Amino acid sequence: MQKNWIGRSVGSELKFKIYGQENDIEVFTTRPDTVFGATFMCLAPEHPLVESLSKGTEKQDEVAAFVQKVSTQERSAEGLEKYEKEGVFTGAFCINPATGEKIPVYTANFVLMEYGTGAIMSVPAGDQRDFDFARKYGLEIRVVVQPKGELFDGNTMDQAYTGEGLLVNSREFNGLDSTKAMDAITDWLEKKGRGKKAVSYRLRDWGISRQRYWGAPIPVIHCPDCGVVPVPETDLPIRLPEDANLLEKGGSPLPYLDSFAKATCPECNRQDAKRDTDTMDTFVESSWYYLRYCSPRYDEGIFDPKAVKYWAPVDQYIGGVEHAVLHLLYSRYFMRVLNTLGIIDFKEPFTRLLTQGMVCKETMTCPDHGYLFPEEALKDDKGNLLCTKCNKDVEVGRVIKMSKSKKNVVDPNELLEKYGADVTRLFCLFAAPPERDLEWSEDGVEGSNRFVNRVWRLALECLEKIDGFKPFTGAASDLSSEQAKTLYIKANQTIQKVTDDIDKSFHFNTAISAVMELVNVLYAIDLDSADAEMKKVILFSLENILLLLSPILPHFCEELFEKFGKTGSILEQSWPEYRKDSLKTDEIIVVVQVNGKLRSKFTIDAGVGEAVIKETALADEKIKKYIGDKKPKKVIIIRKKQTLINIVV
């Protein structure tokens, strides 16, 4: 009873007989061990039984109104999270196949037609959505699975328990481990003719044709006598005509272009056959194009098998969450077909996956004009947000995914004109880690702009005062100045941090933060009093800051790279390397507590003994204030990455 392979779920198909009728409601579930806890049934609003079950009952109008309401909502797994869980009793009941009890049938907005059979047995004690729904509508919550040694009560539970455990309230299966109960209960129901083991495939029907000009033409010809006939291989590929005029009212021009649409049947030579004028959906090509990239000039097949064997599968897949199911699913499907045909020797197309988050922004609505673009809502003198079309108050909604339909979008051209591409890119990478949603912020873009200007001013100021020096590249121990040594170690630590964050996790946000810290350290240095050694370390730090930022701010770094007197492009330079012998500082941080409360901290030479650390802590002016005339009863020193002292008085 587990999910595996390509969108496949292994579970049980149960039959809930409609009370008073001969019809069944078929339910697919991966948790047959919880069937004794099903206290109601939920159907997707699109389920064909919803209308027929409520027809002629006092619930008919209420159900119809609910179905109409849900039809205007976003019906996807992601979209369900935006709406409160709601439902309507259909007026019908069904029979739980395990208990024989009569349970109510609801239609609910959190059930999708494409999930299983569009009907779910609702076990509120074991599913949080069912739990919330049951609490809202006063339905029974019956515990059937609970951890060993614990006792749950459906009347007092504050959330569903979704883990494994032992069965209760399940008749002869009481005390059985829930994982073993899955097969046992399924076999029991199968003997009674009320269920069976089943496989549910989540691969949806896929219409690949599109009525448009662009895309790969579908290689078939429609003949009045022969029907659908494939285009001969010698006539492939079919090329789109370049003289097609796009229609003023939209739509594809291909059906009206005789030079393309008219064709001769390859089988009977009939002259009035028609070429298929639809084109394939881009998912067809994106499911396998990466294999073609391995040998783009190969002309003896779709790709060179030797090249694919060397390069594939893809090392890293990066895509938005909206592609995390379908595109991955179809790609995996294509690879399995090619593998079954013996064309490739692997089944999985991608080795690693990074699913990036969405860019989100609040919505703005006007009572008369509905959703507004950001520029259509401006603040007046009092700070009130008003619609530029009618001057009425604008309501700011919650932060959701940017969408043209909701108009909560940002015009990239305006950002490019005001800040440039580099600043815009910097904000996008710095605002959040890639796997999380990014909340758009005008203040955040402005902050990124200030950082870029800080780097620019720092670089130009340093260039004036360190001209003629070469960067220091030796070991930190070779430096005589403690200040120069500290900066050099910080620079090497930054290179290591940025390299690891980008290479291992794509966390550009923390990589940028590390560079910002190094820039702050450089700003604190008095250039006028810096000696030759220090200037060499400053130059090393600056040059590496440019190299580390070059993937993020390519135009900006290219400009400064040239000002530093370098030739060629900065993007052609090798990635900076850090010295392992210059990563550790000779100082440690000491955190001082008095009676367990943090009162001070200081840095001290890493080689000193505990007696010196204790003496320094007791001499700290901040600590003296809290100790006063009292004599410490105990001084506890714990030496780890940070040394901790707790003074007990």
Closest to 531 (Cα-Cα) out of 450, 456, 610, 465: 465
- In this prediction, residue 607 carries a pLDDT of 61
Give me the residue label for tokens 């292994």: 10
Mean per-residue pLDDT for 448-466? 92
Q: Are residues 45 and 180 in the same domain?
A: yes
Number of domains in the chain: 6
- In this prediction, residue 369 carries a pLDDT of 84
pLDDT over threshold 80, residue 644: yes
- In this prediction, residue 204 carries a pLDDT of 60
**pLDDT tens-place string over residues 561-581:** 999 989 999 999 999 999 988
Torsion of CA 426, 429, 430, 432, to 10 degrees: 150
Peptide bond into 237 cis (omega under 30): yes
**pLDDT tens-place string over residues 528-550:** 888 999 999 999 999 999 999 99
Instruction: Give the residues across from 28 on adjacent strands.
Output: 13
> How would residue 6 be classed by pLDDT, with cut points 50, 70 and 90?
very low
Percent of the chain with pLDDT over 70: 95
Instruction: Name the residue with higher pLDDT: 579 or 248.
Output: 579
Percent of the chain with pLDDT over 90: 51
Q: Are residues 21 and 169 in the same domain?
A: yes
Question: 565 near 546, Cβ under 8 Å?
Answer: no
- In this prediction, residue 1 carries a pLDDT of 30
Q: Give Cα separations from 219 to 138, 230, 236, 260, 624 (angstroms).
A: 58, 6, 8, 12, 87
Q: Are residues 122 and 180 in the same domain?
A: yes
pLDDT averaged over every residue in the chain: 88
Mean per-residue pLDDT for 381-399? 86
HSE toward the beta carbon, residue 362, CA cutoff 13 A:
10
pLDDT over threshold 50, residue 113: yes
- In this prediction, residue 586 carries a pLDDT of 64
CATH number at residue 373: 2.20.28.290
Distance separating alpha carbons of residues 357 and 434, to the nearest angstrom: 6
Q: Are residues 21 and 157 in the same domain?
A: yes
- In this prediction, residue 276 carries a pLDDT of 96
Distance separating alpha carbons of residues 616 and 603, to the nearest angstrom: 10
Q: Are residues 253 and 382 in the same domain?
A: no
Q: Are residues 25 and 167 in the same domain?
A: yes
Distance separating alpha carbons of residues 345 and 82, to the nearest angstrom: 43
Name the DSSP class of 237: S
> How would residue 522 be classed by pLDDT, with cut points 50, 70 and 90?
very high
Q: Are residues 107 and 41 in the same domain?
A: yes
pLDDT over threshold 60, residue 516: yes
Give me the residue label for tokens 């996790």: 505
Closest to 62 (Cα-Cα) out of 26, 107, 115: 107
Q: Are residues 511 and 547 in the same domain?
A: yes
Q: Give Cα separations from 423 to 428, 448, 511, 560, 608 (angstroms).
A: 9, 6, 16, 15, 46
CATH number at residue 641: 3.10.20.590
Q: Are residues 393 and 512 in the same domain?
A: no
CATH number at residue 118: 3.90.740.10
| Residue that finishes a domain, picked among 321, 356, 391 | 356
Which structural domain range is residue 386 located in?
359-440
| Residue that finishes a domain, picked among 440, 475, 491 | 440
Structure tokens at 390: 């009618």
Q: Is the pTM of this model over 0.75?
A: no
Distance separating alpha carbons of residues 376 and 371, to the nearest angstrom: 10
- In this prediction, residue 172 carries a pLDDT of 94
Neighbours of 131 (CB within 10 A): 24
Closest to 14 (Cα-Cα) out of 45, 44, 38, 46: 38
> How would residue 223 be classed by pLDDT, with cut points 50, 70 and 90?
very high
pLDDT over threshold 90, residue 53: yes
Q: Are residues 56 and 115 in the same domain?
A: yes
**pLDDT tens-place string over residues 587-623:** 778 889 888 888 888 877 666 678 888 888 888 888 8
Q: Are residues 467 and 323 in the same domain?
A: no
Q: Are residues 184 and 248 in the same domain?
A: no
CATH number at residue 515: 1.10.730.10
| Residue that finishes a domain, picked among 248, 266, 282 | 282
pLDDT over threshold 90, residue 356: no
Sign of the Cα torsion 47, 50, 51, 52 reads positive
- In this prediction, residue 3 carries a pLDDT of 34
SS3 436: coil
- What are the start-end ranges of the H helices in 236-301? 258-261, 282-286, 289-292
Which residues, 6 or more positions from 576, have their beta carbon under 8 angstroms from its beta carbon? 495, 499, 544, 547, 548
pLDDT over threshold 70, residue 7: no
